[in-house]
Amino acid sequence: MKRIMLGTAAAVMMLLHSGIATAGLCGLGGFSSCPTDACNGSGDFAAAKCGCDVQYRTVRKVIWDQQQYTCMKTVYDRCTETVPVSCTRNVYQTCYRDQCYTVCKPVYETCYRCVQQKVCRPVVETCWRTVTCNVRKPCYKTCYRDVCYTVCKPCFKTCHRTVSYKVCRPCYKTCYRDVCCTQYRTETQTCYKDVCYTVCKPVTTTKTVDVCSGRWETYTKTIPGSVVRKCVPDACNSGCSGSVCVQCPPRTICCRRWVPCTVKKQVCCTTMVPEVCHRKVPYTTCCRIPYTVHRKVPYTTCSFTRECRTRQIPYTTCRMMRQTCTKRVPYVTCSWTNHCVTKRIPHTTCRMVSHCVTKRVPYTTCRMVQQTCTKRIPYTTCRQVCETKMVTRTKCIPKQVPVCRTRCVPRVVCVRVPVCCSAPACNPPVRCAPKCPVPDACGEEAVTE
């Protein structure tokens, strides 16, 4: 892009130095045949115009054209892929060990002691006394009397009247119309996709392990004899004159002892190494394809027809009839009778009687008993487990994309410009430029002396 801009700027500068700047003055600064007043910048244009004939000259003009060009641009596409990664995970396991401890457990015992005390016990006695009193007793008697009353008894009668009414009777008719409906049929297609899975393969390695072992050795040991007290005989008498301590001879015994030693041993270890495999997994895709079906759909039309019908409507009439009835009404009469009643009334007497009572009073004793208990203490162990995780990674893939851009390109065109200048007045004055370029027909401009 910088090279294009530099080339464009160089072309503009060359065109400006080759006489295009004179075209901005309509070519008047490059002619040697201009009048003196016309060459003067502060002169009168009307005076310079007088006496000149209209002539044309060809000048070059720069025109900027827009040009479309295509360049390649780098674009990065982001894609995501799933990659298996092997990692190690710590697995913690809780184990228990038994620990014994001693506790003092209180043992409570209930004992009894005998206590004598004097208590008073109430003694309740029931006594009876005879009481005579007069009592009035009512004597009730039921009597009856006749009462006449009048009642109205309804008398019902059922009659019928004729009523005419109109009904609309429906008349149904079945017709058919054509209906276009769209149905679908299902087509299945089997495709395959690439699936990654991890397989753990066993790998056997050999390592050296220190194993503790040993051997039994036999050695001899001398044990000194025991000290025995012996009697010293008396030369004059047959008895003992004293006792001395004499040590018995030593004895030799054989003993065995264990001598430990460390032995290096080769041990085979098998580890599982994960390996990523690929396989093609088929899957089925279903697509529904529409198609048009024509069928006849029945529909029912209904029209109503009026008909006159007659029916009997029952109705009930009621009239009241008077009737005289007689009923017996009971009533109660009461009379009082005096009579003498004798009855025994109980009454209670209480007296206190003292006596000695022996009772057992409980009391509690406590003694401490030692007891051995076992509790389980937890502790945690750690082991490492190899596993494979699927990690999603994002990467950028570069690619070249064509891009359409626009740039400005200079183009030189030839333009005819009118120039007023007469033949007698073409002598250049002293103050005009000594050199005026005379252009050729759309070619290079020539410089005249």
What are the Cα distances from residue 38, in Å, to 228, 419, 427, 431?
168, 12, 12, 11
What are the Cα distances from residue 342, in Å, to 133, 339, 406?
6, 10, 146
Assigned domain for 433 exists: yes
Give the confidence band of 13 by pLDDT, cuts at 50, 70, 90: low
Assigned domain for 34 exists: yes
The pLDDT tens digits for 363-391 are 888 888 888 888 888 888 888 888 888 88
- Residue 434 and residue 448: Cα distance in Å, rounded? 9
> Would you state the pLDDT for residue 22?
41
> 22: Cβ–Cβ under 8 A, 6 or more apart, which residues?
29, 30, 59, 437
pLDDT over 70, % of the chain: 80
Structure tokens given for 395: 């990467």
Look at residue 435 and tell me whether its pLDDT is greater than 80: no
Assigned domain for 67 exists: yes
- Residue 424 and residue 36: Cα distance in Å, rounded? 12
Report the C-alpha dihedral over residues 398, 404, 409, 413, rounded to 10 degrees.
160
Look at residue 446 and tell me whether its pLDDT is greater than 60: no
- Residue 134 and residue 342: Cα distance in Å, rounded? 9
> Would you state the pLDDT for residue 12?
58
With 0-12 / 13-18 / 19 or more C-beta atoms within 10 angstroms meaning exposed / middle / buried, residue 35 is buried
Give the confidence band of 445 by pLDDT, cuts at 50, 70, 90: very low
The pLDDT tens digits for 18-57 are 443 443 444 444 444 444 444 444 444 444 444 456 788 8
Assigned domain for 261 exists: no
- Residue 372 and residue 347: Cα distance in Å, rounded? 70
The pLDDT tens digits for 198-212 are 888 888 888 888 888
- Residue 438 and residue 324: Cα distance in Å, rounded? 161
Range 77-106 average pLDDT? 86
**CB-side neighbour CA atoms (13 Å) of 48:** 17
Assigned domain for 439 exists: yes
Per mean pLDDT, which range of 48-52, 163-167, 231-235, 382-386 is the poorest?
A: 48-52
CB burial of 195-210 (b: ≥16 within 10 Å; e: otherwise) equals eeeeeeeeeeeeeeee
- Residue 418 and residue 357: Cα distance in Å, rounded? 163
- Residue 142 and residue 333: Cα distance in Å, rounded? 6
* Count: domains in the chain: 1
> Would you state the pLDDT for residue 431?
41
Place of tokens 């396989």: 279
The pLDDT tens digits for 263-309 are 888 888 888 888 888 888 888 888 888 888 888 888 888 888 888 88
DSSP per position, 245-290: EEEPPPEEEEEEEEEEEEEEEEEEEEEEEEEEEEEEEEEEEEEEEE
Expressed in angstroms, the distance from the first to the final Cα of the chain is 43
Assigned domain for 85 exists: no
The domain of 29 spans 2-74+399-448
The pLDDT tens digits for 170-197 are 888 888 888 888 888 888 888 888 888 8
